[in-house]
A and B are shown apart, each in its own frame.
Chain A
Amino acid sequence: MAGLILVASLSIFAASASILAPNGPLTVNLNDIYQAPNMLHLFGTDDLGRDTFARVIWGTRISLMVGFAAAAIAAAIGIIVGSVAGYFGGYVDTILMRFVDVMLSIPTFFLILLIALIFGGNEFIIVFIIGFTIWPNGARLLRGEMLKLRDQDFVNAARVAGAPARMIMFSELLPITIYPLIVDSGLRVGSAILTEASLGFLGVGDPNAASLGWLLNEAISSFRSAWWTGLFPGLILCLAVLGFNLIADGLNQALNVKLRW
C-alpha cells in the first residue's frame, strides 16, 4: 500500500513536469550557478545555473518510463520462454533453462553496459537492452509453476479435447501460474530503474535526456561542495525503486507466493 502511494505520487510528480517546471531541464542561466536550495530554486542550481528541481522532475519521467518499458519487455519475453520451457519440457526445457542459468550467472550490468556502448546509447535502445537482459528470473519462476501443472487432469482434458498447445499455455495455464512473474516484474521495474541510473552515472546514455543517473554523473565532480546536486536526484531515485520494491513485497504477501528476494 505504501509502495502504491509512493509510486502514484512520483508518477503524478513526473506527469506534471511541464506545469511545475515549464522551462525544461536544459535551461542554462549563468547568473545563478551553484545556488543552494531557496524559494526560487527548490533544489538549488548546478554548475551551469540549471534548476536542479526541473532537472530532477524531468529525469523522474525518464526513469519511470525506462523502468516500466524495460520490465514490460522482460515480462513478455519471460512469459514466452517460461511457458514454452515449462509446458513442453524435455529438450526444449533443458536448452532454455541452461541459457537462463548462464544469463543469471554472468554480471548482467557489465554486459548491458558493453552492448549499450557498442550499439549506441540513446534511451530507447537502452530500454531494449535492459529488457532483453533482465527477463531470465521471471521466465524461470513461470517455468517452475507451469511444470507443476502441466500434467494435471484439466490440462490433459484440454489436450484430449484437441486444444492447441498455444491455447492451453496462454488461456488455461498462464492465468493461474503468472503470479510469481507479476511479483518478479515489480522487482524488475525497480532494478531496471537502478540499472539505467547506474549506466547514466558512468556516463553511458544521452546527455540531453538528463536522466536521474546522468544528473548523478554530473554531481560526481560537484557534490562535495554543492551537496544538493547529488542529494535530490538520488533521493527521488531511491524513492522510486523503494516504491516498486514495496509493491512487489506487498504483492508477494498478498498472493502468498514463496519467492526468494
Chain B
Amino acid sequence: MNYIVKRILQALPTLFIVVLLNFVLVRLAPGDPISYILSNTAEAPPALVQEYIHQFGLDQPIYVQFEVYFSRLLQGDLGYSFTYNAPISTIIVPKVEATLLLTLVALALQILLGMGMGIWAMKGSRFKGILLNVSSIISWSAPTFWVGMILVILLGVNLKIFPVGGMFSFGVSESQLYTDILWHLILPALSLALAGYGLYFRLTRASFIETLSQDYIVTARAKGCSASTVLLKHAFKNALLPIITIIGTNASFLITGAALIEVVFGWPGIGYQLNYAIGARDYAMIEAIFLVVAVIVIISNLLADIAYTIIDPRVRYA
C-alpha cells in the first residue's frame, strides 16, 4: 500500500511538467499566442474573442495566466475551439473513448500473438525459431499505418471481407450496433497488433529462457512434472513480470500507433481528430490532445507498476 501511494506521488511531478511544458511552448511560439490558445481566432467574431481572452486571463501577467490555465485544467476544461465553436472537452471525450477501445483490443491481440508465438518458439527446430525471430523484427520495424494500408488493400478492397473504414455502418440498427462496431474494429486492431507483437514476442522468449534456467524449474522437472506443466504453471507467472512492465513503458508507442492507424481507417478517435486539427491549424485542439495522451500514458505506467507489485510481492518490500 505504502509503495502504491509513493508511486502515485511520483507521477504527479511528471504530470505537472507536462502541463508546464504545454503552457510554455504555446507562449514561446512565434506570432500571436492568442491565436494558438484560442484556435483559429481569424474566423471568430472579435467581441467573442475579447470575451474569451478576458475569461482565460490572457490580458494578465504570465503567472496569473498559468494560475487560470491550471485551475481550468483541474476542472477538466481543456480550452475552447473556434473551429468547432465548442469547448474542446466535449468534442474530445467520445474520441478518447473510441481510441481507448481500439488501443485496448489491439493491446490484447498484441500480447496474445506475441506471447503465443514466444511460447511456441520455445520448442521445435532452430529454423522455426529464426523464422519467428525475423518476423518479430519485421513487425517491430513496419510502420503501423502502412501495415494498415496493406491490410485494407488485401482484406478490404480485394477480398472484401472487412469494411475499409469508419466505426459503424450507416443506418445500422440499435441492436446490431455493438457487433457492427466490433466488425469495423477488427482490421485496425489487427494492423496494430501485427505491427507491435514483435516486442512481446522477443520479451516472452528472453524471459522464458531466463526463467527456465532457474533452480526451482529444474527442481520441478526433477520431481517429474511434465514440460508443459512446468512451462505454464511454474514459469509462466515469473516470466510474465517483465511483460507487465513493458505494457506500461510501451503505452506511449501503442497509442501513437493507434493515432496513426485511425487516420488510415477513419476511426473517429483522437488520431483522426489530430489529423483534422492539423489541417485546420487548430492548435488548442492539438495541445489538448497532447495533454490527454500524456495523462493516459502516465496513468498506464502507474497501473503497470501497481500491477507489478500485486503479482510480485518482492517489489513492495524493497
Contact = CB atoms under 8 A, between A and B. Distances in A.
Contact of A113 (B141, B286, B297): B286
B290 A111 contact: yes
A230 B297 CA distance: 30
Nearest to B14: A102
Interface in A158-217: 190, 194, 197-198, 201-204, 216
Contact of A110 (B142, B293, B298): B293
B275 A237 contact: no
A249 interface: yes
B289 A216 contact: no
A238 B141 contact: yes
Interface residues of A, number: 45
Interface stretch (A52-60, A148-156, A220-228): A220-228
Interface string B285-307: 01101100110011001000000
> How many interface residues does chain B have, given as a range?
35 or more
Dominant SS at the B interface?
helix
Given A105-B14, A107-B290, A224-B152, A238 B298 contact: no
B220 interface: no
A245 interface: yes
A91 interface: no
B217 interface: no
B143 A194 contact: yes
B203 A111 contact: no
Interface in B64-97: none
A119 B29 contact: yes
B30 interface: yes
A107 B149 contact: no
B143 A241 contact: yes
Nearest to B156: A224
Contact of A231 (B153, B290, B293): B153
Interface string B7-26: 00000011001100110011
A102 B21 CA distance: 11
Interface string B232-268: 0000000000000000010010011001100110000
A219 B152 CA distance: 13
> Which of A109, A194, A204 has the most C-beta atoms of chain B within 10 angstroms of its own C-beta?
A109
Given A107-B293, A108-B252, A237-B146, A117 B286 contact: yes
Given A111-B21, A117-B283, A224-B157, A234 B143 contact: yes
Given A118-B283, A201-B263, 6 more contacts: A202-B278, A223-B149, A238-B141, A238-B143, A245-B140, A261-B202
24 contacts: A102-B13, A110-B256, A110-B294, A113-B286, A117-B283, A117-B286, A118-B25, A118-B28, A118-B29, A118-B30, A194-B143, A198-B143, A198-B256, A201-B143, A202-B263, A202-B274, A202-B275, A224-B153, A225-B157, A234-B150, A237-B146, A241-B142, A242-B138, A245-B141
